[in-house]
Structure 1
Amino acid sequence: MLDACAELVDEVGYEGLTTTLLAERAEVAIGSVYQFFPDKRAIVQALALRNMEAYLERLSARFAAGNLAHWWDGVDAAIDEFIGMHRTVAGFRTLHFGDVVDVHLLDEERDNNVVIANRIAEVLHEQFAVADTPTLRFALEIAVTTADSLIKLAFRRDSDGDARIIQESKTLIRDYLQSHVGV
């Protein structure tokens, strides 16, 4: 059902998505949809959580490959994986991590970008021994929100992502984190 949801969101958007349409696409009875999800928001929330886990798995795999010498290589990898998902994962370009539905879709108490920033802080701490401090987490919140906006701009300008905007995004985020966190 989540795969069908991802396809439909790309085709008709969140507003056009219905549980009936989802049941038809997934080739299941409408009752089966409601057995697992009370409404379309819950379906999209499950898809957004799956996207976040896929993103973090992709990022962890990049880090585990050992090709990253410094934390800024990790920043580039984080941006590259986000862009890669934009290009290849059904539904991701439309939903991202659910912000088009609700900025608190991943967590009722925290903004979606805060959830992502906190997870990136954990990964940077594990992989590069960057001190996981409130200052780092705040700076990452700003960086994730900025990168998210710039990447959306890159994909509005070019369906494959404007390469100049993507490169400038990486430079901006690295410079910001260097000056504000000093890592």
Structure 2
Amino acid sequence: MNLIQNQAETFYEYNFSDRDDHKDFVQGLRIELDEYRKNSHKLEFIDVILKRLKLGYDKHLESCEYKNDRLKCSINSNYENTLFFVQNEKEGIIEKLDSTEFTILERKLTNESLTKIIEDLSEIKLGQELTYTDLYDEFQELKEYYFLNKKHWSQLFIGRISEMVAGGVISETVSKEIVTTVMKNYQGLIS
């Protein structure tokens, strides 16, 4: 979990109650989002909030006595209103994203590319033993850094591969194979 995700978790824990008025939470969220200068940081923050809200709502619905008539339950109403307004905030942030920052679609495509790279390298085998779990863990961790702009994220990606070579986790040959695979099949990943 990165710093922004941790801050969002803390904000949610201290500020959301399923029995409070949604307006108070949404107003507090807007104030908290104003603390972040970059829209990509705001997007990272609000993504965590939305996930937590959806999980809380789903958990409540499991035991809600008004499953068939959600309008009777004030907790349902609070979650639905909160989700609606937080989603609106997210859409506003997405509209303001700079072209150098990751969009939601680019995040999804990059995640798919990282997963596919691991699968491709697993199939290639490269004639030597490779610690795929280490490579997989590194790529999973990279998914937490989309708040960086694309250039810095790409530099981090290349740096992680270089660190793995320097640390002996992968060989230089494997590193070159990763870069070749990325450049050939996933051109948007390294700019």
TM-score, with structure 1 as normaliser: 0.30
Q: Does 1 or 2 have the higher relative contact order (CA < 8 Å, sep 6+)?
A: 2
Flag the structure with larger Rg.
Answer: 2
